[in-house]
């Protein structure tokens, strides 16, 4: 950007800064310094003025000093030798009679991020810790943390830590909070600042002196304190009671979290707190600040995941306002889906229906899929509304409705007839790939119930040459082969034409291969085709997998009031894994119906399991753990059983299916009985990223008796065990669900 920091401008500034006439006039001098700062903020390179700026820092004007410090701190790491010039001025200012100047200089000194600073900082820092003015002490305390960070992995100075611990008793509340912050950073490797009983009670007593930022932070530090007795616990909770009513949402939320975590063994206390925090949360949800509103909505969803009925009576608060931005409307619709119950379903649906005709395409489609997800419980009403929407004959609405239908039919087979009656006429309106795929899938899978299904598909076959989306072509192939099985006379001719086109003229390799696959499959006889293609047309059990409702409060209490609920579970797992590029394993049951044959059950099962995996949050299992059978046996015998459960299971076991399903979630098989043997046994192992081993035994004594699971853990970590059990249960559950 030559116009910002051109040579010319720099030369001008240098001339101005070193001009004795300018230096003699404080206001002109300050204006020149300010111009440098402006250039720097805009991103220009002003490092050439370092010497002049350091000199400007020696002036008496405090504003100018601050500006120069800003400049010096930004440039010091790159030019340490010149920065030493500034150190002298700053050290002299550290002994200034004015506390403001002392504090400022000390802050500047500690902010110089360059190696070798310790020897200059040490002495002013120590005298700063004992300064009379609290302003200087606040800065000195944080300065300790800054210097420690600069030294990297240097050893912790025990004397300094003791000094900081004793400063926790300082009379200035901000010094106290800063001490906690500094100790936390300095002792990071040892697990952070220790909150023992005296410190905890001291902090509780000082709470009232703090401002809202201090309060929320101290409440967060108190999370790590474990009260010794029930009496102490309830004493603490009653001391903190007032903070649940604070006017600042951040304090209320921090207090809520502390309550939830401290009372982890008292579910009724937790429930009580969540009731009391309802009011402040709802107020934040309707706050004027969109950003606060969004944050609160995310936390409402978190609470709803454990207590589905919690906000049901306040459902009107979550109706979208006309002027709200998209991201809030979307959150609100999600909340509405989750709190729907018998009493409010009518009003909620009425409201969502209003959004379906919104001018914004995304919002309209979001509302339609929201109705689609409510339809899993209130099928009849929702299908009625969705059918009504088809009458609007709007491209984006029809497409979204048909997609909602497709997902619904898979989960709630009882609505198939109603859906099939609504379908005719949609084909002329839908233009996008997703919508077309959904329509074609529905016609293929349930074509026997739609009288004109072959003719609709015939139109698609006619136009296949001009079709731009390969996915639509694939879907068309599968659907037509399926329809051919139920209505051969009407489909034979066009199936031939479609296969000819796909094999001879199609340029997309995957479509061509799919065409060849079906061609060969058809050659092997109708029975074989039926065996491969005619899988169940719906699977209500997937619905249970998708929303594992009512997880206990304790699973998310430690994540409450962090960024985790903001991102949502699936994205949070990706964000924390530092793999922003990794695709999300969102599984829509019908996008890939082509391989929905019995032979591909396992791969479908694994997709399900993969989707479940990011949900486990804190638990990360390492793939490819090497553990020999002997090692396993030795460890198994040396440990006690940490968890024992019985999983529902009917019929015999297919060892391969289980092995594959568990392998996908990084649980390795050690040994397992052959299929059909009774009692059937299997042993598995897994290891999480902290090195904790999970050894598992599966035992099926007789058919219909249920699967017995026993887990042994090498380190006692209840949370990890819980997460592991949920992964294991889901994986085995998925296999069981697919089998039935």
Residue 281's contacts (CB-CB under 8 Å, 6 or more residues apart) are 249, 252, 296, 299, 300, 303
Nearest alpha carbon to residue 48 among 75, 67, 70, 26: 75
Closest C-alpha among 340, 335, 372, 338 to residue 353: 372
Of 138, 148, 446, 514, the one binding another protein (CB under 8 A) is 138
| Residue 536, H or E segment | none
Other CB atoms within a 10 A radius of the CB of residue 106 amount to: 27
Choose which of 145, 164, 494, 672 interacts with another protein (CB under 8 A).
145
262, 233 contact by CB (below 8 A): yes
List binders of another protein among 668-697 (CB under 8 A): none
Quick one: which of 6, 115, 267, 325 contacts another protein (CB under 8 A)? 325
Of 172-180, 267-275, 414-422, 496-504: span binding another protein (CB under 8 A): 172-180
Minimum distance from residue 295 beta carbon to another protein (Å): 5
Q: Judged by CB under 8 A, does residue 272 bind another protein?
A: no
Residue 246: left if φ>0, alpha if ψ -120 to 50, beta else—which one? beta
| Residue 354 binds another protein, judged by CB under 8 A | yes
Question: From the CB of 284, what's the least distance to another protein, in Å?
Answer: 8
Residues 70-89 that bind another protein (CB under 8 A): 70, 74, 77
Q: Compute the distance between CA of residue 588 and CA of residue 207 in angstroms, rounded to an integer.
A: 50
**Is residue 684 within 8 Å of residue 698, measured between CB atoms?**
yes
Backbone region of residue 561 per phi and psi (left: phi > 0; alpha: psi in -120 to 50; beta: other values): left
By CB under 8 A, which span of 65-73, 85-93, 118-126, 671-679 interacts with another protein? 65-73
3-state secondary structure of 687: strand
Q: Is 392 near another protein (CB under 8 A)?
A: yes
Under rule CB under 8 A, which residues in 329-348 are in contact with another protein? 347
- The Cα 162–Cα 140 span in angstroms is 15
280 touching another protein, by CB under 8 A:
yes
Minimum Å distance from CB 41 to another protein?
5
User: Pattern of binders to another protein over 84-123, x per CB under 8 A?
Assistant: ----------------x------x-----x----------
- 679 preceded by cis ω (within 30°)? yes
Gap between the Cα atoms of 164 and 166, Å rounded: 5
Q: Is 220 in the site for another protein (CB under 8 A)?
A: yes
157 contact partners, CB below 8 Å, separation of at least 6: none
- The answer to whether 254 contacts another protein (rule: CB under 8 A) is yes
450 CB-near residues (< 8 Å, 6+ apart): 420, 423, 424, 442, 443, 456
Choosing from 247, 463, 466, 638, the residue that interacts with another protein (CB under 8 A) is 247
Q: Does the footprint of another protein cover residue 25 (CB under 8 A)?
A: no
Of 264-272, 356-364, 536-544, 668-676, the window that binds another protein (rule: CB under 8 A) is 356-364
Q: In what order do the strands lie in the sheet with 641-647?
A: 641-647, 707-713, 693-700, 680-687, 668-672
Q: Which stretch binds another protein (CB under 8 A): 89-97, 288-296, 519-527, 689-697?
A: 288-296
Choose between 68 and 738: whose C-beta lies nearer to another protein: 68
- Report the residue number, 5 or 543, with the smaller CB distance to another protein: 5
Considering only 322, 523, 527, 628, the residue that binds another protein (CB under 8 A) is: 322
283 near another protein, judged by CB under 8 A: yes
What is the DSSP secondary-structure string of 255-293? Answer: HHHHHHHHTTT-HHHHHHHHHHTHHHHHHHHT-S-HHHH
- Asked whether position 248 contacts another protein by CB under 8 A, the answer is yes
| DSSP 8-state code for residue 621 | B
Q: Concatenated DSSP letters for 499-512?
A: HHIIIII---HHHH
Question: Residue 141 Cβ, how far from another protein at the closest point, in Å?
Answer: 10
Residue 352 binds another protein, judged by CB under 8 A: no
What residues between 549 and 608 interact with another protein by CB under 8 A?
Answer: 561-564, 566-567, 571, 575-576, 578, 580
Q: Would you call 642 helix, strand, or coil by DSSP? A: strand
Stretch that binds another protein, among 193-201, 262-270, 313-321, 375-383 (CB under 8 A): 313-321
> Minimum CB separation from another protein for residue 473, in Å?
27
- What is the Cα–Cα distance from 227 to 234, expressed in whole angstroms? 9
- Candidates 87-95, 245-253, 472-480, 534-542 — which segment interacts with another protein by CB under 8 A? 245-253
CB of 211 to another protein, least distance (A): 7
Stretch that binds another protein, among 138-146, 261-269, 469-477, 501-509 (CB under 8 A): 138-146
Q: Is 578 left (phi over 0), alpha (psi -120 to 50) or beta?
A: left
Contact segment (CB under 8 A) with another protein among 85-93, 171-179, 658-666, 732-740 equals 171-179
* Maximal C-alpha separation, the chain: 101
CB of 585: closest distance to another protein in angstroms?
18
Piece in contact with another protein (CB under 8 A), picked from 34-42, 452-460, 463-471, 592-600: 34-42
């Amino acid at each position: 950007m030559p116009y910002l920091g051109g040579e010319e401008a720099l030369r001008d500034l240098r001339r101005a800064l070193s001009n004795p006439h300018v230096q003699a006039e404080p206001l002109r001098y300050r204006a020149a310094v300010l111009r440098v700062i402006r250039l720097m903020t805009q991103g220009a390179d002003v490092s050439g003025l370092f010497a002049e700026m350091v000199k400007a820092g020696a002036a008496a004007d405090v504003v100018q000093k601050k500006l120069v410090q800003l400049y010096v701190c930004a440039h010091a790491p790159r030019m340490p030798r010149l920065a030493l010039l500034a150190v002298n001025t700053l050290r002299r200012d550290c002994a200034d009679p004015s506390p403001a100047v002392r504090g400022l200089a000390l802050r500047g000194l500690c902010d110089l991020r360059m190696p070798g600073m310790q020897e200059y900082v040490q002495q002013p820092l120590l005298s700063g810790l004992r300064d009379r003015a609290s302003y200087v002490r606040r800065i000195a305390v944080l300065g300790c943390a800054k210097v420690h960070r600069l030294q990297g992995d240097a050893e912790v100075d025990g004397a300094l830590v003791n000094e900081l611990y004793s400063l926790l008793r300082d009379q200035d509340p901000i010094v106290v909070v800063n001490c906690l912050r500094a100790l936390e950073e300095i002792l990071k490797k040892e697990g952070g600042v220790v909150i023992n009983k005296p410190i905890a009670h001291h902090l509780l007593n000082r709470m009232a002196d703090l401002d809202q930022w201090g309060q929320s932070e101290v409440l967060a530090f108190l999370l790590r304190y474990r009260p010794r007795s029930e009496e102490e616990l309830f004493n603490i909770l009653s001391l903190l009671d007032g903070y649940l009513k604070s006017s600042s949402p951040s304090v209320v939320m921090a207090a809520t979290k502390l309550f939830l975590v401290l009372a982890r063994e008292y579910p009724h206390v937790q429930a009580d707190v969540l009731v009391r925090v309802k009011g402040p949360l709802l107020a934040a949800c309707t706050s004027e600040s969109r950003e606060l509103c969004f944050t609160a909505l995310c936390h409402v969803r978190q609470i709803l995941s454990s207590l589905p009925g919690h906000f049901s009576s306040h459902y009107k608060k979550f109706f979208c306002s006309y002027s709200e931005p998209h991201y809030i409307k979307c959150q609100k619709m999600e909340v509405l889906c989750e709190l729907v119950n018998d009493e409010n379903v009518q009003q909620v649906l009425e409201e969502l229906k209003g959004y379906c005709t919104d001018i914004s395409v995304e919002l309209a489609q979001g509302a339609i899929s929201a109705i689609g997800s409510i339809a899993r419980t209130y099928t009849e009403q929702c299908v009625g509304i969705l059918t009504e929407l088809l009458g609007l004959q709007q491209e984006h609405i029809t497409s979204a409705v048909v997609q909602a239908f497709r997902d619904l039919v898979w989960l709630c087979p009882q609505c198939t007839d109603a859906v099939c009656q609504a379908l005719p006429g949609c084909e002329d309106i839908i233009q996008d790939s997703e919508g077309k795929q959904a329509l074609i899938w529905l016609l293929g899978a349930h074509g026997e119930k739609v009288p004109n299904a072959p003719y609709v598909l015939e139109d698609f076959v006619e136009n296949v040459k001009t079709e731009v989306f390969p996915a639509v072509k694939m879907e068309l192939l599968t659907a037509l082969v399926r329809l051919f099985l139920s209505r051969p006379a009407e489909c034979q001719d066009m199936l031939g034409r479609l296969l000819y086109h796909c094999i001879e003229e199609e340029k997309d390799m995957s479509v061509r291969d799919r065409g060849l696959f079906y061609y060969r499959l058809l050659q092997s006889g109708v029975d074989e085709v039926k065996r491969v293609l005619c899988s169940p047309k719906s699977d209500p059990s997937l619905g249970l997998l998708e929303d594992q409702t009512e997880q206990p409060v304790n699973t998310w209490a430690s994540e409450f009031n962090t960024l985790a609920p903001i991102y949502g579970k699936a994205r949070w797992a990706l964000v924390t894994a530092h793999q922003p590029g990794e695709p999300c394993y969102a599984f829509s049951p019908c996008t890939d119906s082509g391989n929905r044959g019995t032979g591909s059950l396992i791969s479908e099962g694994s997709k399900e399991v993969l989707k479940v995996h990011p949900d486990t949050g804190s638990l990360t299992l390492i793939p490819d753990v090497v553990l020999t059978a002997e090692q396993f046996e030795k460890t198994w015998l040396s440990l006690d059983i940490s968890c024992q459960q019985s999983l529902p299971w009917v019929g015999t076991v297919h060892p391969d299916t289980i092995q594959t399903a568990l392998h996908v979630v990084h649980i390795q098989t050690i040994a397992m009985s052959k299929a059909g043997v009774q009692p059937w046994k299997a042993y598995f192992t897994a290891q999480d990223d902290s090195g904790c081993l999970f050894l598992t035994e599966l035992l099926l004594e007789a058919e219909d008796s249920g699967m017995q699971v026993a887990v042994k853990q090498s380190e006692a970590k209840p949370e990890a065990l819980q997460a592991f059990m949920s992964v294991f249960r889901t994986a085995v559950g998925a296999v069981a669900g697919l089998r039935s």
